[in-house]
Structure 1
Amino acid sequence: MKKTILAIAIPALFATGATNAQEIYNDGENAFSIGGRLNLMVESANNEGERDLRSENNSSRINLNFSRKMSENVTARATMEYGLDNPNGNSDSPFFNRLGFIAVDHADYGSVSYGKQWSTYYTITGVTDVFWVYGGTAMGIYDNGDKAGTARANDALQYNGSFGGVNLSGQYQFADEDEGRKDSYSGAVSYDFDFGLNVGATYHQMNRTDAEKSEVFNDGDAKLTALAASYNQGPIYAAVSYGEFKNHVQFEGATGVSDKAIGHEGVFAYTLDMGLQLYTGWNVQEDKNSSADLKTALVGAMYDWNNVLLYTEYQDETTKSVSGAKEDDNRLAVGVRYNF
């Protein structure tokens, strides 16, 4: 059985650095590797009605990976990943935790993991969250501070397995009153076709505490349902995702989260032999109970120079509040990412 991770579904140049790591030690039983990236960019953006040019950190990070062979078919591993806060400036707290989990993998039966990890919901919806700078705004992944556990889920117990092209994932998230969560659970299934197509579906539900319901001005629990498909063949990568969200998304000008919203994302990329990648896509999210929405168009290019990535990306975003007021936000970023 092959162990499936999200990076496998993403073309090499999109995934560069996602699993990039240098092995430091391996005695045949124990192994240790370190990886990550320093990712800096210059961004031109609107700031209170005026164009502003600034230097930004674009999700720099460092990860530590450990593994131990327990038997012929069983391997235990642990991952710790820390984000770097403002690595090109001053910071009182330069690190924050992104991931921290322990997993046990079986060659035939799959993997069980526990800790802070990428969510079951993300194994499906992450196929369109692949832009180098922007994106990831329409599928409810990062909404509401990720309290629901739809991105990097805290305190999560998870199972992942692949059987003859069928990929299964299940997750349970334990209670955390500080996050407003009684608990959450999710499931996902996808299928890999031989010609590069993957299709999948997922459901995620977060059961809120009474205090959290008061905080988001909504008595319901968060419920997300999503479908996604991706195609990866040769130089072409294309993906689309669609989701329906109950009591989860908050729109501009709203006092609380929406009773019902929908979202969809898409991306198309073509990678030339020389290492140049050209891509475009969109993110759209709509409130079904008002005219509020979020519409984003993206276009960009990236050049892989021996694992030093040079990229530029443009975002044209229009936000409509619940009152119907519109606001435009267009941004241009030019950056460099050093993978190690």
Structure 2
Amino acid sequence: MNKKIIALAVAAAAFGTQASAVELYNQDGSTFSIGGHVSISAKGNSDVGGTDIISNSPRINMTATQDLGNGFTADARGEWSVNYLNGGENAFSTRLGYIGVTHDTFGRAVGGTQWSPYYDIAGIADMPIAFANDFLYDNHGALGTGRAENMISYRNDIQLGDNLSVFGGLGWQDDATAGFDSRGQVAIGANFADFMVGYSYNAGDRTDGVIGTKEATSHALSAKYGSYGNGLYVAAVYTMNEYMHGTSNYNTGASTAGVLKDSDGIEFIAAYAFANSLNLSINYEAVEGNDKAIVDGTVYSQMAFQAEYNITPTFVTFAGYQLDLGSDLYNKENDMWNVGVRYYL
């Protein structure tokens, strides 16, 4: 298994602009660290008016590792979202919680709430702070398209040469989430120099009472070049879905809501990070419905222009403007802007 992949796995580094942690203990093969980030920004709607102060997905996490010998390393992570703008009982909620075991040759197995193998393929465009991939997070915990709940997974990365490797992953979720039966997924891909291509399949029954019992499936194809935040980065994702997406989760204001029998998701990003750490990007996202009962056309389409600048390695400023490119569900435009700062622990 690729040593770089193992290092990222054991550190539990998620996709994003950057990941950091403070190591509090490292002795006799055991480590313990605390990480995460907090953000605050002003977000507004250019067409309706008004400004909200939001927190942009803050979280705190704790990660422990233990050398088990014979090439095996165990790790455990707990991660919680933090509500620090408003008080109350819901100050913390679980984002991640798992135990994993990794071996240089035999790969990595994980059990718990985790980033899924499907997301390894489909999440490569989900990078900027202000505006990124929306359609992956439509019931993502139960559908396993982002942070998958109650999942057991296995991954491996096989090095075939200095610049070539192939990787794959398997995931299975139980039926503990109401309205969703157990489901499975498979992911495969290849890395060649700075390029990556991948494919994932995700399937399981949906029984949430809105559509009866239907098999919810998704095929995801993706490709990328480079590393986000380091020079040129280009990535694209295309998904073909059945009963995976609804219309009520995209702020469409549509009078008709439901689960789409057939839909396609598209995400594209091009970014360039300069030597002074200024990272400029443009991304496009759309969901197309092929369901005459709800929408046979565009659910939503949008394009964002964004900038991120590292004042220090752990203190980042960001700004973005997102254009509403239209929908067949509603006529009112919904351009958005977002300006703020993020501090990585």
Q: If the length of structure 2 is used for normalisation, what is the TM-score?
A: 0.88
Q: If the length of structure 1 is used for normalisation, what is the TM-score?
A: 0.89
Alignment of 1:121-132 (within 5 A): 121-132=118-129
Out of 288, 293, 301, the residue aligned to residue 295 of structure 1 is 301
Alignment pair present for 1:57 and 2:60: no
- Is the 8 Å Cα contact of residues 41 and 334 (structure 1) preserved in structure 2? yes
Distance of 1:119 and 1:89 partners within structure 2: 30
Alignment pair present for 1:80 and 2:74: no
Distance of 1:137 and 1:255 partners within structure 2: 17
- Is the 8 Å Cα contact of residues 6 and 123 (structure 1) preserved in structure 2? no
Out of 127, 131, 134, the residue aligned to residue 131 of structure 2 is 134
Unpaired runs of at least 5, structure 2: 160-164, 248-253
Q: Name the structure 1 match of 2:251.
A: none
Q: Quote the offset at 1:309 in angstroms.
A: 0.1
Q: Quote the offset at 1:218 in angstroms.
A: 5.0
Q: Which amino acid aligns with 1:30?
A: S
Out of 142, 146, 156, the residue aligned to residue 147 of structure 1 is 142
Q: Quote the offset at 1:168 in angstroms.
A: 0.7
**Does the C-alpha gap of structure 1 residues 318 and 286 become closer, same or farther in structure 2, counting only changes over 3 Å?**
same
Q: Quote the offset at 1:291 in angstroms.
A: 2.5
Out of 217, 221, 227, the residue aligned to residue 227 of structure 1 is 221
**Does the C-alpha gap of structure 1 residues 5 and 104 become closer, same or farther in structure 2, counting only changes over 3 Å?**
closer
- Is the 8 Å Cα contact of residues 144 and 250 (structure 1) preserved in structure 2? no
Equivalent pairs: percent with the same residue?
27
Q: How many residues align?
A: 322
Alignment of 1:110-125 (within 5 A): 110-125=107-122
Q: Name the structure 2 match of 1:2.
A: 2
Distance of 2:225 and 2:342 partners within structure 1: 26
Alignment of 1:92-107 (within 5 A): 92-107=89-104
Alignment pair present for 1:261 and 2:263: yes
Q: Name the structure 1 match of 2:235.
A: 239
Unpaired runs of at least 5, structure 1: none
**Does the C-alpha gap of structure 1 residues 253 and 220 become closer, same or farther in structure 2, counting only changes over 3 Å?**
farther
Q: Quote the offset at 1:88 in angstroms.
A: 3.2
Partner secondary structure for residue 257 of structure 1: coil
Q: Quote the offset at 1:116 in angstroms.
A: 0.2
**Does the C-alpha gap of structure 1 residues 300 and 16 become closer, same or farther in structure 2, counting only changes over 3 Å?**
closer
Q: What CA RMSD, in Å, does the superposition of the two structures yield over aligned residues?
A: 2.1
Alignment of 1:1-340 (within 5 A): 1-2=1-2, 4=5, 15-18=16-19, 20-45=20-45, 50-85=48-83, 87-138=84-135, 141-144=136-139, 146-164=141-159, 165-176=165-176, 178-194=177-193, 196-209=194-207, 212=208, 214-215=209-210, 217-232=211-226, 235-251=231-247, 252-289=254-291, 290-306=296-312, 307-322=314-329, 325-340=330-345
Q: Quote the offset at 1:281 in angstroms.
A: 1.1
Distance of 1:269 and 1:136 partners within structure 2: 15
Distance of 2:212 and 2:99 partners within structure 1: 35
**Does the C-alpha gap of structure 1 residues 255 and 269 become closer, same or farther in structure 2, counting only changes over 3 Å?**
closer
**Does the C-alpha gap of structure 1 residues 334 and 7 become closer, same or farther in structure 2, counting only changes over 3 Å?**
farther
Distance of 2:226 and 2:214 partners within structure 1: 38
Q: Quote the offset at 1:276 in angstroms.
A: 0.6
Distance of 2:16 and 2:301 partners within structure 1: 25
CA offset digits 1:237-257 (Å, max 9, x no partner): 010010101111113444421
Partner secondary structure for residue 122 of structure 1: helix
- Is the 8 Å Cα contact of residues 318 and 327 (structure 1) preserved in structure 2? no
Distance of 2:226 and 2:8 partners within structure 1: 12
Q: Name the structure 1 match of 2:162.
A: none
Distance of 2:335 and 2:92 partners within structure 1: 30
